């Protein structure tokens, strides 16, 4: 399975969703934001090195932490030296070795977002329960449609209080995909500060259960 986690803007919690989904699915999370990497760093070669031909995907995947990760470098020189078109081949290679790949795609509508979507067989669209965030998510949805990457799930992240069924149905209709809610959570923030998935911090947290539900829904929808 190759799944891209995308969103219309930064700050919606896209990387957090990708990291926790990688933990739940026991997959490799690829930090696909070549210019503004956000996932934890690891020692050794990174995605910049792979896309520049200095390392193989197998050499760059780190299993040292709680989630297997192909990190991305944070230097401007590394970003400029990377060939984004090699991402599709890189993701294929990681899938062949590990089976499940979660791509943390860049935020927004830059060309590298399209490449990340092209590398995936389906995408997950992350948004927040605000009108501006949903409007940005709608533009990201259009990009996924333009490159013919199916939408597996919409994630309504950091929800403070439950949405009514009517509002969830309206959002699902607007973005044309099933919606899963992830609650706003102290446990998630603690996990972020520690660089851990929320399950490693609090197994009984509501957010932990929500990520587990999301993983099951993705497995059912994407396979």
Domains of the chain (ranges; CATH) run 2-217 (3.40.50.300)
- Tell which residue, 139, 147, 130, has the closest CA to residue 108: 139
The rounded distance, in Å, linking the Cα atoms of 221 and 178 is 10
User: Residue 62's pLDDT band (boundaries 50, 70, 90)?
Assistant: very high
Per DSSP, the three-state class of 21 is helix
Please provide the distance, in angstroms rounded to a whole number, between the alpha carbons at the two ends of the chain: 7
Average per-residue pLDDT for the chain: 91
Q: Measured on CA atoms in the order 23, 19, 98, 103, is the torsion positive or negative?
A: positive
CA 196 to chain CA mean position, Å: 15
Share of the chain above pLDDT 70, in %: 96
The model's pTM:
0.93
Q: Examine the pLDDT at 45 and tell me if it is beyond 90.
A: yes
- β strands within the chain, DSSP E: 2-7, 28-31, 68-70, 101-104, 122-127, 151-159, 179-183
Q: What are the pLDDT digits (tens) for 63-107?
A: 998 999 999 988 878 788 888 889 999 999 999 999 999 999 987
């Amino acid at each position: 399975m190759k799944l891209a986690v995308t969103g219309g803007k930064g700050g919606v919690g896209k990387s957090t969703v990708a990291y926790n989904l990688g933990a739940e699915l026991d997959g490799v999370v690829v930090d696909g934001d070549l210019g503004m990497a956000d996932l934890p760093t690891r020692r050794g070669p990174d995605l910049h090195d792979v896309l520049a031909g200095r390392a193989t995907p197998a050499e760059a995947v780190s299993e040292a932490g709680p989630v297997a990760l192909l990190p991305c470098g944070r230097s401007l020189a590394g970003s400029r030296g990377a060939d984004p078109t090699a991402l599709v081949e890189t993701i294929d290679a990681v899938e062949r070795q590990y089976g499940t790949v979660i791509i943390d795609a860049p935020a927004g509508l830059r060309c590298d977002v399209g490449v990340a979507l092209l590398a995936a067989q389906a995408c997950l669209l992350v948004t927040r329960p605000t009108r501006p965030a949903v409007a940005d998510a709608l533009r990201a949805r259009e990009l996924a449609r333009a490159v013919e990457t199916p939408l597996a799930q919409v994630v309504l992240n950091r929800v403070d209080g439950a949405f009514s069924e009517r509002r969830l149905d309206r959002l699902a209709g607007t973005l044309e995909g099933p919606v899963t809610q992830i609650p706003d959570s102290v446990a998630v923030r603690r996990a972020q500060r520690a660089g851990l998935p929320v399950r490693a911090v609090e197994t009984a947290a509501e957010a932990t259960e929500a990520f587990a539900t999301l993983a099951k829904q993705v497995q059912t929808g994407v396979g």
